[in-house]
Structure formats: C-alpha cells, structure tokens
Amino acid sequence: MEGSEASKEERRRDVKELVAIIPPASQVLSRRGKKVRERRVRVRLKEGVKADELHISPQLASELGIKGRCELSVPGKKRMAFKSVLNDSVPLQEVWANEELMRERGVADNTLATIRGA
C-alpha cells in the first residue's frame, strides 16, 4: 500500500511542475497586443473637401490601419464609405468632410462619429 501512495504523490508533483511551466492565458494573449480598430472622432464640415473624400490625420490613419478607404458611422444615420486623404493640418480627434454632402445626409458640424478602416 505504501508503494502505491508514493507513486500517486509522484504523479501529483509531476502535474504541479508541468502546470508551473505553462503560462497563464492572460500572459499569452497580451503578447499579441491589442489593435485599435475604430475610434470616436468629431466630424468637421469644410468647403475645400471633395464629396467622396474624408481628410484624416496621418497619425490616426496609422493607428487604425487606414490605407485607402474608411468608413464613417454616425449614430442614427447610415454608415458612409469615403476615400481617405491624409492631411497633416487635421487634428488627431477630428476628421474633415464635405459640407454639402454631410448636410444632405443630416450630419451637423462638430458631430461625434466612429471611424474605422473599410
């Protein structure tokens, strides 16, 4: 009987040693890094912007991974797709859109919206 109890204790120790080697799930998942996919920004209406374009900050574009096209989602309205134009003069928390187009779609100046890559 003593021999069987000793072998059970050895097995338990082995399992505990193995578990100590395996990292916790939170540590494994944190290695991947969390990529931001969307961001809340202010929509500013400007006359110098073309109807199918949305001017955004280069820093914002790199954060969200926006290369050619982006999507603007305004609460209570439909999602709108635009060609993204990088502009250094645009502040990080803003995007610039065509004034006439946005007024037709019911979006006012300084509206809060969500931008994401398309």
Looking at the predicted structure, is the pLDDT value of residue 94 above 70?
Answer: yes
Residues 46 and 104 placed together within one structural domain of the fold: yes
Same domain, residue pair 63 and 107: yes
pLDDT digits (tens, 9 = 90+) for 1-34: 566 666 666 555 677 777 777 777 777 777 666 6
Q: Are residues 50 and 101 in the same domain?
A: yes
21 and 62 within one domain: no
Which pLDDT score is estimated for 29?
Answer: 74
Residues 24 and 76 in one domain: no
The per-residue pLDDT for 8 is 62
Quote the pLDDT of residue 84.
94
| SS3 state of residue 10 | helix
Residue 92 has which token pair?
A: 């990080």
Higher pLDDT, 14 or 52: 52
DSSP 40-90: EEEEEEETTS-TTEEEE-HHHHHHHT-SSEEEEE-TTS-EEEEEEEE-TTS
Domain with 67 in it: what CATH number? 2.40.40.20
Work out the average pLDDT over 87-112.
Answer: 93
Can you give the pLDDT at residue 110? 94
Domain extent, residue 61, equals 38-117
Say if residue 46 is in the same domain as residue 87: yes
Q: What are phi and psi of 8, to 5 degrees?
A: -65, -40
Q: Do 43 and 26 share a structural domain?
A: no
Q: Are residues 23 and 45 in the same domain?
A: no
- On whether the CB atoms of residues 54 and 95 are closer than 8 A, the answer is yes
Identify the pLDDT of residue 21: 77
Could you report the per-residue pLDDT of 76-93, keeping only the tens digit for each? 888 999 999 999 999 999
Quote the number of domains for the chain. Answer: 2
